[in-house]
Amino acid sequence: MVPRCSISSNEVQLFQSLNGIRHLAETRPFKAWFLDQFGVLHDGKQPYPGAISTLQKLSSYGAKMVIISNSSRRASTTIEKLKNLGFDPAHFVGAITSGELTHQYLQRRDDDWFAALGRSCIHMTWSDRGAISLEGLGLHVVEKVEDADFVLAHGTEALGLPSGTSLPMKLEDLEKILERCAAKKIPMVVANPDFVTVEARALRVMPGTLAAKYEKLGGEVKWMGKPDKVIYQSAMAMAGVEDASDCIAVGDSLHHDIKGANIAGIQSAFITGGIHATELGLGSYDEVADSSSVHTLASKYDAHPSYVLPFFTW
């Protein structure tokens, strides 16, 4: 079957195929491929079956591949992680992450919104996954809400301390701090807009969950990364591609990957075996989703992929 599909808010035509990536490479030679990592290439612990060889074959077709990720890590860290998982960095033009964008905007301060931020922040970071460094940003991490100019959310496991270390905290305890921050009406910068991510077939809570909570509390949030079009524009510049019709984004999140591609005006391929697998009633990564289930989910998120594939394989 041809994996082409046109999903609009009014009508869905869905075709799925186990050799979808090969079909796209042979029939629609996109110059730039923007690839999500978690849920597409790997599960955080190991590559998905066929992902490495698929990249090799795509590369042989001359595709310029860019990792476009909502990771709160810097781009260099993302490439290093992929290398450690067995991926060849030479297959990628580079990586652009929400964490990289956040670092750049906080460092340059050439954007009006960021220029108005103070330098003192409440820092929510990682613990088990490793805290995020703020080196080179000229920020002052504070513990007291009354001393903070803004909230910086890199993770959901710990509170950063002035010493540079971190204090592990439960999610509900971080949310209590957010309540006090919202009462003070200080803005939040979220360096990873994802709500959850796939990790060894389980779902882990991401900083986007804290940001959504903050908005419900009445707080102002600057969402860095997908689905904002800025990260796609950065990826196009990295790949040296100017025409959106020459690009395709591959991801497993309708709200972030597919919605972001819609906003950026580029085509997209939705991988059903990632974070939406449970919602689609899938029991394994390579199981094919029911067409009506995909239609319903796409309508729910108002995110409409150009193609739907069970997984990233040749």
Q: What is the mean pLDDT of residues 140-149?
A: 97
- Spatial neighbors of 300 by CB under 8 A, at least 6 apart, are 254
* Domain map (residue ranges) of the chain: 16-100+227-309, 117-223
80: pLDDT strictly greater than 60: yes
pLDDT of residue 182: 98
Strand residue runs (E) in 78-213:
92-97, 120-125, 140-141, 150-153, 158-160, 166-168, 188-190, 196-199, 202-205
Tell me which CATH code domain 16-100+227-309 carries: 3.40.50.1000
Model confidence pLDDT, tens digit, residues 241-280: 999 999 999 999 999 999 999 999 999 999 999 999 999 9
115: pLDDT strictly greater than 80: yes
6: pLDDT strictly greater than 60: no
Kindly state the tokens that stand for 67: 């990792």
Query: CATH number of 117-223: 3.90.870.10, 3.40.47.10, 3.40.50.1000, 3.30.420.40?
Result: 3.40.50.1000
pLDDT of residue 153: 98
102: pLDDT strictly greater than 50: yes
18: pLDDT strictly greater than 70: no
User: Please, which pLDDT band fits residue 11 given cuts at 50, 70 and 90?
Assistant: very low
Fold equal for 16-100+227-309 and 117-223: yes
Can you tell me which residue has the tokens 């931020």? Answer: 117
Model confidence pLDDT, tens digit, residues 172-199: 999 999 999 999 999 999 999 988 776 5
